[in-house]
Amino acid sequence: MTEAVFIWSEATVARLKAMVEDGGSASDISNILGCSRNSVIGKVHRLGLAFARGWGQHETPAAKQKRDRAIAVKAPPRILAKAPAPKPKPKAPPAPEVDPTPKRWPKPEGPEAVDITALRAGLCHMPLWSDLRKGGLYCGKPVAIEGLSWCDACRQLVYEARPIRSQEEAQARAQRQVRQLARSGAFA
């Protein structure tokens, strides 16, 4: 069995960047990406990036709650108390129109894509796939919650932790998928 070797692929680096920008800690990111904390710190350093908070600074509870809430876009309204809700429901409620698996990388270009000069709070900060080397376009879609760095679709991409089996296999699969998506017009 070939040992799984972690590789900083372009996609992985994009996820790293996004999470760093979002204020994620080295530990958080390493757990999600499946590598060591030192690996994340070292990579961030070599990329010339910086973590949102400085040295030894623990995330303030307020900031953490805000970020956690932003990440957990759904779920907040927990109704544990037996609310005497009137519960009208005169007619069949429409099913949630949320696509459970929007597993597609954002389009390389689009009407909302912005460059670094136009990127601002409230717009999705997700770096767009293959244009990283071309000067960098960002998703630019409005975010759902203030303080959030990405739109829903991009957030799901970033926080989708993948178990690492064979790196070569994973990369080959990813490249195959990208080519197929390109052919099918997913980026068009």
Partner DNA sequence: CCCTGATTCGC
Partner DNA sequence: GCGAATCAGG
**Residues at the contact surface with DNA, assessed by CB under 7 A:** 6-8, 25-28, 35-39, 41-46, 50-51, 53-59
Query: Smallest distance, Å, CB 5 to DNA?
Result: 7
Q: Are 33 and 40 in contact (CB under 8 A)?
A: yes
Judged by beta carbon, residue 31 or residue 130, the one nearer DNA is 31
Q: Rounded to an integer, what distance in angstroms lies between the CA atom of residue 12 and that of residue 167? A: 12
Exposed/middle/buried for residue 121 (C-beta within 10 Å: 0-12, 13-18, 19+): exposed
Judged by beta carbon, residue 153 or residue 166, the one nearer DNA is 166
Query: Smallest distance, Å, CB 69 to DNA?
Result: 18
Q: Rounded to an integer, what distance in angstroms lies between the CA atom of residue 48 and that of residue 117? A: 19
- Residue 142, SS3? strand
Q: Rounded to an integer, what distance in angstroms lies between the CA atom of residue 51 and that of residue 100? A: 31
Q: Other C-beta atoms within 10 Å of 120: how many? A: 9
Judged by beta carbon, residue 59 or residue 109, the one nearer DNA is 59
Buried b (16+ CB within 10 A) or exposed e, 155-177: bbbbbeeeebeeeeebeeebeee
Judged by beta carbon, residue 37 or residue 107, the one nearer DNA is 37
Query: Smallest distance, Å, CB 80 to DNA?
Result: 29
Judged by beta carbon, residue 45 or residue 103, the one nearer DNA is 45
Query: Smallest distance, Å, CB 115 to DNA?
Result: 25
Query: Smallest distance, Å, CB 182 to DNA?
Result: 25
Contacts of 68 (CB under 8 A, 6+ apart): none
